[in-house]
Amino acid sequence: MIMGFREAARMFGDIWSLYKGYAVKRSDETELEKFMDKVSAIYEKYKTPFAKEILLAVVGEIERTARFYDKQEKGEYNRYRKEL
């Protein structure tokens, strides 16, 4: 299925709202479950390969951010060292 321009704009808006709601906060398991429920709802709304790929990228970034905060809380992150 090919997505029209307006539908893609709505999808980007939905995904951006989801991302900005979770990108800068520390999330516990309950919050991450809510996040994944919202990811599923957005995918069900659009159901295109394009939506799937963007959502997978957002999930990966939120998971990476969660790992960063976990390391920081445990004192494992050295703020002067850059991770690649």
**One-character DSSP codes across the chain:** -PPPHHHHHHHHHHHHHHHHHHTTS---HHHHHHHHHHHHHHHHHH-SHHHHHHHHHHHHHHHHHHHHHHHHHHT---TTSPP-
Task: Using pLDDT thresholds of 50, 70 and 90, give the confidence band for residue 56.
Answer: very high
Q: Higher-confidence residue: 65 or 20?
A: 20
Q: Is residue 17 part of a domain?
A: no
As for how many domains the chain has, the answer is 1
Taking residues 10-33, what's their average pLDDT? Answer: 90
pLDDT value of residue 84: 46
Q: Is residue 83 part of a domain?
A: no
Q: Is residue 8 part of a domain?
A: no
pLDDT value of residue 69: 72
- 19 in Cβ contact with 59 (< 8 Å): no
- Structural domain boundaries enclosing 69: 26-74
Decide: residue 21, CB within 10 A, 0-12 exposed, 13-18 middle, 19+ buried.
Answer: middle
Instruction: Give the pLDDT confidence of 57-73 residue by residue, as tens digits.
Output: 999 999 888 887 777 66
